[in-house]
Chain A
């Protein structure tokens, strides 16, 4: 899944500066792209054009409000399955078919499939877990967040 270095998108210094600046958050001002551009020595038009290109090339997967689901009344759960290797692709398709599954990763461990369920309510979350257990015939290991010590993804470009 990792892109080989040769196919990694080319980024110039201004792209990198913009990626780093925008990871830290957009100011809530009337013309925020102009404000960010002024900090970086770029015009508003150049900021918008570069940002669109970074999204088009999927260097950025998203640009917008980063929501805290639980504080919006939603429910989130990290869950895992121990999937027999020979059956992995079939089970992955079954799990991914649930719209409640927001992310799903293959990881190196006996628990080899880790996914995040996101629903509007705790009841819908429980229903999705039972649905996945019924569809796959595998027990879902639940890893609810008990305490958050830090959240702040920042990947310097």
Chain B
């Protein structure tokens, strides 16, 4: 895994990139569930635990990895009402509105996406996960009040079935 001579390894961006790529591929299925997971990865990759941890820290610092964490199954935790709320917002006020919705504690993702007219007039998307639809509707009322006249129309699309969920696969 480390073909560089030792004196060049620390400052070699190509070696860093190769290590990061190897770490991504080695952890796509998950982090090892061993007492010292970074040492376990280091063993697999012919590196050492400190180098592996530094690699993750670097990726986290520049946002390539958001965090090392757990993704729950919404339904297993009782979040059975998963609504994609969508909003038709005046373009001039979009960024302000996006920041307002994004700051709400119950919004998990909030993005500006393009309209697809005539089928789709909405340009702001915010995901709301709740225990039932009444809770989602209460959240929507709160969001609507927050957006005021900047919002011309809105809708919510509830998911009724997961058709596929394999997660991200990043090729070698």
Query: Chain A residues in contact with chain B, CB under 8 A?
Result: 1-3, 5, 8-9, 19, 22-26, 28-34, 44, 48, 51-52, 54-55, 57-69, 71-72, 74, 78, 80, 82, 92, 95-96, 99, 101-111, 113-115, 118, 120, 141-155, 157
Contact = CB atoms under 8 A, between A and B. Distances in A.
Nearest to A69: B168
Interface in B24-81: 24, 27-31, 33-39, 49, 53, 56-57, 59-60, 62-80
Contacts of B36: 30-31
A9 B75 CA distance: 10
B68 A2 contact: no
17 contacts: A1-B161, A2-B75, A23-B69, A23-B71, A28-B57, A57-B76, A59-B76, A65-B59, A68-B65, A82-B119, A92-B163, A103-B167, A105-B163, A110-B119, A111-B119, A152-B108, A155-B77
Contacts of B168: 67, 69, 74, 102, 118
A71 B148 CA distance: 34
Given A67-B170, A104-B163, A107-B158, A9 B63 contact: no
B75 A1 contact: yes
Given A72-B24, A107-B158, 14 more contacts: A8-B76, A26-B68, A33-B35, A44-B35, A58-B73, A67-B168, A80-B120, A102-B168, A118-B170, A120-B170, A147-B112, A149-B112, A150-B101, A151-B109
Contacts of B72: 19, 23, 59-61, 155, 157
Nearest to A49: B33
Contacts of B157: 107-109, 111, 114
Contact of A141 (B27, B67, B101, B119): B119
Contacts of B111: 145-149
Contacts, number: 242
Interface residues of B, number: 75
Given A66-B66, A118-B169, A1 B112 contact: no
B113 A67 contact: no
A104 B160 CA distance: 11
Contact of A78 (B102, B113, B159): B113
Contacts of A110: 119
Contacts of A146: 111-114
Contacts of B57: 28
